[in-house]
Structure 1
Amino acid sequence: MSPGWSIARRLFLAHAIFIVVLAAFVGTASFVDARDRGYTETADRMLAVATAIADNPLVLEASHAANPSDALQPYALDVAADADLDFITIMHPDRTRWTHPTASEIGQDYIGSIGPALSGEPFTEVSTGTLGPSVRAVVPVVDEQGTVRALVAVGVTTSNLSIALAARLPAVLGLAMGLLAAGSVATWLLGRYLRRVTLGWGPEQLAQMFVYLDSVLHSVREGLVLVDHRGELVLYNDQAARLLGIPPRSPDPAAAPVLPDLDLPASLAELLRSGRVARDEIHPTGSRVLVVSQQPALASAAGRGKPAAMGSVATIRDHTDLQALGSELQSMRTLSDALRAQTHEHSNRLHVLVSLMELGRISEAVEFATGDLELSRQLTDEMINAVDEPVIGALLMGKTAQAHELGISLTVAASGSLSESGLSVQDLVTVLGNLVDNALDAAASGEAPRSVDLVVRAMPDSVVIEVSDSGAGVPAEAESAVLRPGFSTKDPGSYGRGLGLALVRQTVARLGGILVIGRRDGAVFAVTLPARPHPPASPAANLTGAPHA
């Protein structure tokens, strides 16, 4: 077979050869069986006719006559014609023929075996005589004393028997051809099915593609998951197992896990189960931020026909670190916006100072500049004294400026030392930044007066962060949904919404903390994170910041 042949073509050829050989074998066996049964049936009939002739008293009486042929020859010819026999030979025990279809053979010796008949035992045989090969039966004619007085040989030539067997040949050939036709149809249907499921590829191509696919699965740094239409994970690589927190792939296909048995986030499980098209969807898990893209796996036999969906292929990328950097970048943007706002305010104040000085009101200009400087210093000192972690202090200063622009009163109350809690700055920025951003959005959409209160308490064994706002609050029926990725009560933004609180929940769960949603005037989000004390690198201030409006 050619190496380029598909599995379907190879199987079709092998199956076709098998069917032809089987049909020939069955046809030959049927013909041989029919031939053997034809010989047996003919021999039984010859024996019955010979026995009937031997039992006829005419034959025993004629055997005592001086010329038995006178009485037996006409009788033998009549019986042979009536029974459709080729010959009836009645002979003396010494083989001398008394009857024969050919008159010149009368008186000649019989050609064939007579030994068993001389002993009184009828028998049948296939032998060659004056008429050619024949199936014959030889029966003794005995008197009352048991003496063999004559022998009767009855037979038909094999040429006549072959003609009779040839009448059965159409049935035998019909059986063989029917078997061949049925087998050919079954082979064609099987080949068509295999051509469809193997896409017309040969075993060498399939083996090569399997090796390539297995190499790709182990070499790519992204997670790769293949899901069929029944929700079973047909194939996934080691990176996908690590990102999804599922057992490594087993070499046994029967051990492939199914989606309902895996501990996956509801949104990610729904995406994989649906098979829908997805592009760079964000799905937070317990400890990671995953970006998932998914496309249906389409196939058509040899590239022909309408493509049929066989499942879906999903690629998974780990954006946990990137998301952390994004949170820090967002904090920097907040600070940048605050600096821009302060620059705008500073420009206005400079214009006031210049105008006062141009008007000659030097004392009023000095008083205005001194008051503005004192207010800025007071704000900075309050933020620095409230939180001993510089990055968090900078974040809160930016949020304060942002709140001022939105017309919201942001109050910060802090106690304890965050730097001694052992918690990473990135995690604190994620929790504080997203909670405050969410509170500012909620307060901005509410009625005046608008306010956000932030309380940070760093204790020896834990850090408690509580953020409350004057917004509409979170409905009781939405408390569980509000932490789901993609859930938001606001209109979609340029990059989508509903991820901030999901990231907070993920960070809290990863750190072994507790997140509680409550209600006061508006929503209250309380986070408790277990502390991870470590020897401080430098003395830490333990100051309590005064509230700032």
Structure 2
Amino acid sequence: MKRKFKLSTIITLFGCMVVLISLLVTDILITTTTSDRIRSNQEEKAQIVSRTVAESTIVKESLIKKENTTAVQAYTNEVQSITEMMFIVVIDINGIRYSHPNPERIGEPFVGGDEKAVLKGEEYVSISEGTLGDSLRAFTPIYDNSGNQIGAIVVGISLDIVDFALHQNHRNIIRGSLLGIIVGIIGALLLATYIKRMLFGLEPYQISKLLEERSTMLQCVHEGILAVDEYQKITLVNKSARRLFEKAGLHDDPIGMKITDYLPNTKLGHVMETGKSELDEEHVLNGIAILTNREPLIVNNKVVGVIVTFRDKTRLNELARQLTGVRTYVEALRAQSHEFMNRLHVILGMVQMEAYDELVVFIRKIVDLRNQDTELITKSIKDPVLAGFLMGKMSYARERNVLFTISRDTSIKHELRVETSQEIITIIGNLIDNAIEALASSEIKELSVELKEQNGKFKITISDSGPGITEENKKKIFEKGFSTKGDNRGFGLYLMKQSIERLNGYYKINTSEKGTTFEVEIDADLMKDGVENDN
């Protein structure tokens, strides 16, 4: 298995390597430049001394007279001492010494072999080995007042002194480099600690794994997911969202676009301003109804973006319709089973009493009533979900001793649209349930339902013989959580009102001490789903 290094180790090693290479290159450049400068300074110093001595009157007079005077030796020794030169040698045109650090060598020929050019009038610097060892030598010719060369000056600087200066300079550079490496290591460690703290202590391979898992998770979910940054630019769109956008006719790549340019009226600006979530909001996208949830992304008490999740409401409506049909069927079976058991007890009692004539009449009434209810609903209402729902409510009403009647004027010749079926059942179901509960304390318990199309409107009328609604409660019954029946109630009429508003309908209430009538009207074109069936 390949070893994975820690982030702090990687940053420290990399930082040290960068510092080390930088200092190494700097050391080479500085050493080379400084060495050249030191050598140049020493050469220049030697040339200055040699030129100064070459202009000396004492030296010139001695060479002109061709006399080795002690004055020349004394003069050169004094200059040599002041300037810290290795030697200062005066030679005549024949290369014979007139001065030397060792007096015994005065009068002897100059040694080194590099003096020939100066005796021909050239001025230069060379390195050579003489009687005093290796030295850097500056040669300067000496001329008399007529411009004739009469000798030369040789000034020498020990190479050991030059090398010492170079080594001293190099040691200083090395000390600086070592200090730089130490500072670089400390800086790399501090940087690694800071970066790791910013990354919540995660190592690079852990961040990579999290990123891959996040990407796979976002692409696999069936809900559409879209994220925007603090500038409202889209930063993330998963596959489900792209499919829904393509279905809505939006084929451009949204990444990097401003959300208001790609999806107008998304209300994300409001979420970013308030920092509050908006859940289960409906939004129409090029004719496609979607259900959206908007969650702000808050970091350090600041909104830095918004996450939006959404689903195609048509699919949700299809699932809701299927679930509603199953639930309605179960409720109808439960109510009918309970009702059937009660009637079996009546039949058992009549059999035991041998009241056979009365039993026949009772059974015929049951059969006639069941046939009438079933025939009326199935002929008048062509939507199977709504028909089954009403049959279940009729059985539920009989359990509560409520006379439930379907108006013979009821007529629905079309199946309801998927997107409106759930809303209609919510409206009718909550009105019927509230009416049955209101009739619990009434002597006369009657409830009637009428559903029909009239003048291009789908009209729902539900009337009961209950005690009515007071004027005070009439203003509050549609508020969420308001109820006269106790805690954890008061949601039915609130949901009913929302469904009516979503279908662009309106409602009217007529109430008195003799009962209450709810009338709801919706555009009939919103309800149709399929072809008319008059059979």
**TM > 0.5:** yes
Paired position in structure 1 for 2:505: 516
SS in 2 for 1:21: helix
Paired position in structure 1 for 2:424: 432
Return closer, same or farther for 1:334/1:72 CA change in 2, 3 Å cut-off. Answer: same
Q: In angstroms, what is the RMSD of aligned CA positions?
A: 5.4
Paired position in structure 2 for 1:387: 381
Verify the 8 A CA contact 1:39 1:135 in the aligned structure 2.
Answer: no
Paired position in structure 2 for 1:45: 45
Partner Cα separation in structure 2 for residue 314 and residue 535 of structure 1: 38
1:17-166 to structure 2, matched below 5 A, reads 17-106=17-106, 107-111=108-112, 113-114=114-115, 117-118=118-119, 120=121, 122-166=123-167
SS in 1 for 2:504: strand
Partner Cα separation in structure 2 for residue 24 and residue 139 of structure 1: 40
By relative contact order (CA 8 Å, sep 6+), the higher-ranking structure is 1
User: What is the Cα deviation at residue 327 of structure 1?
Assistant: 1.1
Verify the 8 A CA contact 1:353 1:368 in the aligned structure 2.
Answer: no
User: What is the Cα deviation at residue 96 of structure 1?
Assistant: 2.0
Question: CA offsets per residue over residues 71-124 of structure 1, 9 Å max, x none?
Answer: 211221121112211111111133222112233433222425446645655433
Paired position in structure 2 for 1:301: none
Verify the 8 A CA contact 1:515 1:525 in the aligned structure 2.
Answer: no
Question: CA offsets per residue over residues 344-371 of structure 1, 9 Å max, x none?
Answer: 553565478569x66x7967x7777776
Verify the 8 A CA contact 1:92 1:150 in the aligned structure 2.
Answer: yes
Letter of the 2:422 partner, please give it. Answer: T
Partner Cα separation in structure 1 for residue 283 and residue 39 of structure 2: 85
Partner Cα separation in structure 2 for residue 384 and residue 59 of structure 1: 143
1:201-216 to structure 2, matched below 5 A, reads none
Q: TM-score, normalised by structure 2?
A: 0.70
Tell me if 1:398 matches 2:387: no
Question: CA offsets per residue over residues 515-546 of structure 1, 9 Å max, x none?
Answer: 3344434876543352657555xx625xxxxx
Return closer, same or farther for 1:498/1:152 CA change in 2, 3 Å cut-off. Answer: farther
Return closer, same or farther for 1:176/1:21 CA change in 2, 3 Å cut-off. Answer: same
Partner Cα separation in structure 2 for residue 270 and residue 400 of structure 1: 45
1:127-526 to structure 2, matched below 5 A, reads 127-192=128-193, 197=199, 220=220, 222-223=222-223, 237-242=238-243, 255=256, 321-343=318-340, 345-347=342-344, 349-350=346-347, 379-380=373-374, 382-384=376-378, 386-389=380-383, 391-403=385-397, 405=399, 412-413=406-407, 418-419=412-413, 421=414, 423-424=416-417, 429-443=421-435, 454-458=449-453, 464-466=458-460, 472=473, 489=482, 504=499, 514-521=503-510, 525-526=520-521
Return closer, same or farther for 1:112/1:464 CA change in 2, 3 Å cut-off. Answer: farther
Paired position in structure 1 for 2:301: none
Question: CA offsets per residue over residues 268-287 of structure 1, 9 Å max, x none?
Answer: x979x9899xxxx9887767
Verify the 8 A CA contact 1:431 1:504 in the aligned structure 2.
Answer: yes
Structure 1 residue runs without a partner (length 5+):
297-309, 542-549
Letter of the 2:23 partner, please give it. Answer: A
User: What is the Cα deviation at residue 62 of structure 1?
Assistant: 1.5
Question: CA offsets per residue over residues 18-48 of structure 1, 9 Å max, x none?
Answer: 3212212212322222222211222222222
Partner Cα separation in structure 1 for residue 122 and residue 102 of structure 2: 27
Return closer, same or farther for 1:55/1:390 CA change in 2, 3 Å cut-off. Answer: closer
How many residues of Structure 1 are paired with residues of Structure 2 in the alignment? 496
Return closer, same or farther for 1:135/1:463 CA change in 2, 3 Å cut-off. Answer: farther
SS in 1 for 2:95: coil
Verify the 8 A CA contact 2:383 2:412 in the aligned structure 1.
Answer: yes
Verify the 8 A CA contact 1:439 1:467 in the aligned structure 2.
Answer: no
Return closer, same or farther for 1:224/1:493 CA change in 2, 3 Å cut-off. Answer: farther
Paired position in structure 1 for 2:523: 528
Verify the 8 A CA contact 1:117 1:138 in the aligned structure 2.
Answer: yes
Letter of the 1:326 partner, please give it. Answer: L
**Structure 1, 164-173 or 206-215: larger mean CA deviation:** 206-215
Question: CA offsets per residue over residues 206-262 of structure 1, 9 Å max, x none?
Answer: 7788777766666x4644859699698765531354468897996x9x738879986
Question: CA offsets per residue over residues 120-163 of structure 1, 9 Å max, x none?
Answer: 55433444433333333222222222222221122311211222
SS in 2 for 1:150: strand
Paired position in structure 2 for 1:305: none
Question: CA offsets per residue over residues 480-537 of structure 1, 9 Å max, x none?
Answer: xx8xxxx66578979x9999659957xx97xxxx33344434876543352657555x
Verify the 8 A CA contact 1:226 1:235 in the aligned structure 2.
Answer: yes
User: What is the Cα deviation at residue 442 of structure 1?
Assistant: 4.5
Verify the 8 A CA contact 1:117 1:123 in the aligned structure 2.
Answer: yes
Verify the 8 A CA contact 1:436 1:467 in the aligned structure 2.
Answer: no
SS in 2 for 1:135: strand
Partner Cα separation in structure 2 for residue 457 and residue 409 of structure 1: 21
Partner Cα separation in structure 2 for residue 275 and residue 13 of structure 1: 46
Structure 2 residue runs without a partner (length 5+):
298-303, 512-517
Verify the 8 A CA contact 1:89 1:98 in the aligned structure 2.
Answer: yes
**Structure 1, 331-340 or 235-244: larger mean CA deviation:** 235-244
Tell me if 1:540 matches 2:529: no
Verify the 8 A CA contact 2:229 2:305 in the aligned structure 1.
Answer: yes
Partner Cα separation in structure 2 for residue 328 and residue 289 of structure 1: 23
User: What is the Cα deviation at residue 431 of structure 1?
Assistant: 3.0
Paired position in structure 2 for 1:303: none
Verify the 8 A CA contact 2:406 2:449 in the aligned structure 1.
Answer: yes
